[in-house]
């Protein structure tokens, strides 16, 4: 159990000719790559995520894998990878799960406040679907990365400030552990390599394992 690690991850691509492509416009996932000083390109093909799966009936692991694979399918079909090949492409999706219920991005202020207040009494898990595609071999590998975040008591004025800043609306579960306002109220973080990268949205240890499976 730990907070953010200062360890820098060295990502090993199949060869120096490969481009690492982040198939996501997520600032949080870019933050992880920048933190580890990994060079990358961004290529995204938009899909209607809400049209995929059922948030009330699907298991979170199944849902995030379906959406991450759909993002990969759309990006491959778009032709945007042609100029970047050979490449290792990573597409992701993430939901938060609180007491067994899936939480995506808050839809309004009331829901954002409800989410943040609830973390005073119970931890939240993140389920991240990660898909790696090798444009040279045509192979694809996927998995679900699960992490858990505990919180200390988050005061009302901090919740007010987080909601006012608005970043909570772009994050599954309505929280982002890299937010300086929230950092003092973080408890233990559990997951791969301490869990920080997983909760932010991209565990490079997980990505590396999937890269090896696509060679």
Active site residues: 93
Cα–Cα dist 167/21, whole Å: 25
Residue-by-residue DSSP string for 81-120: TGGG-SEEEEEEEEEEEETTEEE-S-SSHHHHHHHHHHTT
Cα–Cα dist 144/135, whole Å: 21
Nearest to 94 by CA among 32, 10, 182: 32
Cα–Cα dist 185/118, whole Å: 13
């Amino acid at each position: 159990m730990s907070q953010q690690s200062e360890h820098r991850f060295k990502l090993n691509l199949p060869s120096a000719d490969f481009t690492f492509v982040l198939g996501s416009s997520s600032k949080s996932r870019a933050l992880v790559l920048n933190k580890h000083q990994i060079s990358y390109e961004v290529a995204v093909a938009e899909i209607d995520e809400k049209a995929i799966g059922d948030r009330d009936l699907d298991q979170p692991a199944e849902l995030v894998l379906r959406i991450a694979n759909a993002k990969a399918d759309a990006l491959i079909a778009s032709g945007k990878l042609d100029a970047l090949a050979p490449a290792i492409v990573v597409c992701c999706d993430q939901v938060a799960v609180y007491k067994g219920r899936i939480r995506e991005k808050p839809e309004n202020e009331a829901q954002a406040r409800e989410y943040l207040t609830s973390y005073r009494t119970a931890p939240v898990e993140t389920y991240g679907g990660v898909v790696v595609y090798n444009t040279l071999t045509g192979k694809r590998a996927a998995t679900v990365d699960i992490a858990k975040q505990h919180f200390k008591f988050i005061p009302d004025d901090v919740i007010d400030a987080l909601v006012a800043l608005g970043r909570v609306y772009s994050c599954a579960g309505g929280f982002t552990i890299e937010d300086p306002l929230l950092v003092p109220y973080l408890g233990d973080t559990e997951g791969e390599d301490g869990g920080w990268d997983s909760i932010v949205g991209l565990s490079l240890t997980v990505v590396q394992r999937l890269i090896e499976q696509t060679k």
